[in-house]
Chains A and B, each alone.
Chain A
């Protein structure tokens, strides 16, 4: 009990010392006033948070002990459980703090990288886990983006309504694509999905009355609890910088999008990781390994394939909504075959089915072309060389997908 309270108290004290000069003292001209409430509030919050973390850890330890204990094999990613745990806390913290240190350009790249992480995680389900070679994944990305844009244009949907709606719409399109290709494998499947991707793009390009064709659609910027991110709010709304009492900066909107996107990426990561070890995820992998054996074990391959398509498409659709929200404008040129190929390259380079590998590859492959902007003429060349080198030295991808190890002794 003493140890339980000691650490949170220490945290609270540190927070108190650190925040008193910053938030407790408010300058008013040449004098300053002392607000003792705010640092105390922050310290109390830190105390509660830390206590919650400790209690959560104790609870989860008790929760997991009786299960046939599961541990992961040592490998490229995990050098040890402590190291892993530290990283799993540190990386989200870095990710959340990152936007406050980036300039506008950096933020745009970071948002793009996260969108590609989402797309890659979605395609990883279809290609990496279920083994269905999908060359038209950009279609679902487009459906998500246009779902938000057109939903706003015609129905007046806001960002928060559009997010789940567009995700469901994309999942529906995944099912729609899934039905005709149930009997196909490998190359044939690749060609049909490629066609599907082009069909969606051509519809968006040519249906002038509905989608605006090549002129694209304007997208409303997202709001947060009714607060807007523009300099001056429309029709009596309150812009967020006035609400928070800070100076206006065009970065605030991007920071907001980044933070929401980051949380969504964390959520999707948790979802995908859990799915991999659930009966549904296991059947996806079994389907990739051998479809006939799957059927001989009483698994309905139709359900398994459609669920993989729908789940992957849904995640791609979410990526599309964020793309539309961050760009403020969508048109069909953003959804060409090159995007599909890029996402597929990310999944293959990251290691088919390996979640950390795919995340790293997505980040590297979006940031690398930005770093190579100075050699823009040779960008694709360097990109290609990097891929060839990868295929020579790490044909399995950056990080080999790891199998879960079960401790099988009876206890």
Chain B
């Protein structure tokens, strides 16, 4: 399993947004989370990508050739009495509390997009993609100041890498336009391209087809498939377009009122009476 979500619970004040949610994401699969509005899909997503700290439960991420990581630990956990006995654990907690956060999750290999597109609107499309490569780039201050050869080579490599992704998404001609000026469908694709520039293992798409016309949706589903086949990406997505979900995904998780009501292959889900009642109608 690449990603294991175990008994995740999340409470906002009196509202229990997630109740003991568990599901797995296989390496190389396309997994979809569906459910009616307010079912807790985006909350689950935010817990996985580190934007929320779940009150209970674990999210274990085991990328190939690397040790398993616990995402809730990387966000910084509160200290407890047992830390007095285990100073090493206390130290690691302190480290994560000081330097942890969502950026650590991204560096571990989980990239995400947002439901309402969050581009750097005043910056050009290419600059958006360059910002995403920040971790891989030469950040030596002196090198940049004096435009050393190493710095220029890295910048050029970053530009080329960004252009590769833009070409993949058919956006190469928009590279120098301010991202905010692009049509909505293109902005969505820029956002996906940008998150891919962080070199992720798993890509989490939050309603990638929202606001797209049927033609664009079809293109998108092809792109998602190609991302998996050409780049060995695992994809986790939230989507309302049932047609797209059924066509794309290998595995579906259905949420309702913060609980998982069904898990399985698309064909099973379509037959499941609970799902039909709660969501498909």
Using CB atoms and an 8 Å cutoff, list the residues of chain A in contact with chain B. 63, 66-68, 271, 274-275, 278-280, 282-283, 285-286, 288-290, 292-302, 403-406, 408, 410
Q: How far is the CA of A410 from the CA of B175 in the complex (A)?
A: 13
- Which chain B residues (71-116) contact chain A, with CB distance < 8 Å? 99, 101-104, 106-107, 111-112, 114
Q: Quote the shortest CB–CB distance from B72 to chain A (angstroms).
A: 16
Using CB atoms and an 8 Å cutoff, list the residues of chain B in contact with chain A. 49, 51, 99, 101-104, 106-107, 111-112, 114, 118-124, 126-128, 130-132, 134-135, 137-139, 141, 144-145, 147, 152, 155-156, 159-160, 163, 172, 175-176, 178, 194-195, 197-198
Known: A290-B118, A298-B135, A408-B163. A403 touches B101 (CB 8 A): no
Q: How far is the CA of A63 from the CA of B101 in the complex (A)?
A: 40
Q: How far is the CA of A94 from the CA of B123 in the complex (A)?
A: 34
Q: Are A289 and B122 in contact (CB under 8 A)?
A: yes
Q: Are A286 and B49 in contact (CB under 8 A)?
A: no
- Lowest 5 CB-CB distances: which A-B pairs, in order? A298-B106, A278-B144, A289-B120, A293-B118, A295-B102
Q: How far is the CA of A283 from the CA of B133 in the complex (A)?
A: 10
Q: Are B106 and A403 in contact (CB under 8 A)?
A: no
Q: Are B111 and A296 in contact (CB under 8 A)?
A: yes
* Residues in B whose Cβ lies below 8 Å from that of A274: 144-145, 147
Which of B114, B121, B145 is close to A296, meaning CB atoms less than 8 Å apart? B114
* Residues in B whose Cβ lies below 8 Å from that of A295: 51, 101-103, 106
* Residues in A whose Cβ lies below 8 Å from that of B124: 403-406
Q: Are B103 and A285 in contact (CB under 8 A)?
A: no
Interface of A is mostly: helix
21 A–B pairs (Cβ distance < 8 Å), ordered by A:
A66-B156, A274-B144, A274-B145, A279-B130, A280-B141, A282-B123, A283-B134, A285-B123, A286-B128, A288-B122, A290-B119, A292-B51, A293-B120, A298-B104, A299-B103, A299-B135, A302-B99, A302-B101, A403-B123, A403-B178, A408-B159
Which of A66, A279, A297, A410 is close to B137, meaning CB atoms less than 8 Å apart? A279
* Residues in A whose Cβ lies below 8 Å from that of B178: 403
Q: How far is the CA of A67 from the CA of B149 in the complex (A)?
A: 10
Q: Are B123 and A286 in contact (CB under 8 A)?
A: yes
Q: Quote the shortest CB–CB distance from A220 to chain B (angstroms).
A: 32
Q: Are A301 and B103 in contact (CB under 8 A)?
A: yes
* Residues in A whose Cβ lies below 8 Å from that of B134: 279, 282-283, 297-299
Known: A285-B122, A403-B123. A300 touches B103 (CB 8 A): yes
* Residues in B whose Cβ lies below 8 Å from that of A280: 139, 141, 144
* Residues in B whose Cβ lies below 8 Å from that of A289: 119-123
Which of A67, A279, A403, A406 is close to B139, meaning CB atoms less than 8 Å apart? A279
Q: How far is the CA of A282 from the CA of B159 in the complex (A)?
A: 14
Query: Residue on A with the closest CB to B107?
Result: A298
Query: Residue on B with the closest CB to A67?
Result: B152
Q: Quote the shortest CB–CB distance from A267 to chain B (angstroms).
A: 11
Q: Are B145 and A298 in contact (CB under 8 A)?
A: no
Q: How far is the CA of A403 from the CA of B65 in the complex (A)?
A: 40
Which of B106, B121, B135, B176 is close to A406, meaning CB atoms less than 8 Å apart? B176
Q: How far is the CA of A64 from the CA of B265 in the complex (A)?
A: 55
* Residues in A whose Cβ lies below 8 Å from that of B128: 286
Q: Are B103 and A298 in contact (CB under 8 A)?
A: yes
Q: Quote the shortest CB–CB distance from A7 to chain B (angstroms).
A: 26
* Residues in B whose Cβ lies below 8 Å from that of A408: 126, 159, 163, 172, 175-176
Q: Quote the shortest CB–CB distance from A315 to chain B (angstroms).
A: 15
Query: Residue on B with the closest CB to A280?
Result: B139
* Residues in A whose Cβ lies below 8 Å from that of B132: 297-298
* Residues in B whose Cβ lies below 8 Å from that of A288: 122
Q: Quote the shortest CB–CB distance from A239 to chain B (angstroms).
A: 37
Q: Quote the shortest CB–CB distance from A224 to chain B (angstroms).
A: 26
Q: How far is the CA of A323 from the CA of B7 in the complex (A)?
A: 62
Q: Are B103 and A290 in contact (CB under 8 A)?
A: no
| Residue of B49, B111, B120 most packed against chain A (CB within 10 A) | B120
* Residues in B whose Cβ lies below 8 Å from that of A282: 123, 127, 130-131, 134
Q: Are A271 and B145 in contact (CB under 8 A)?
A: yes
* Residues in A whose Cβ lies below 8 Å from that of B103: 295, 297-301
* Residues in A whose Cβ lies below 8 Å from that of B137: 279
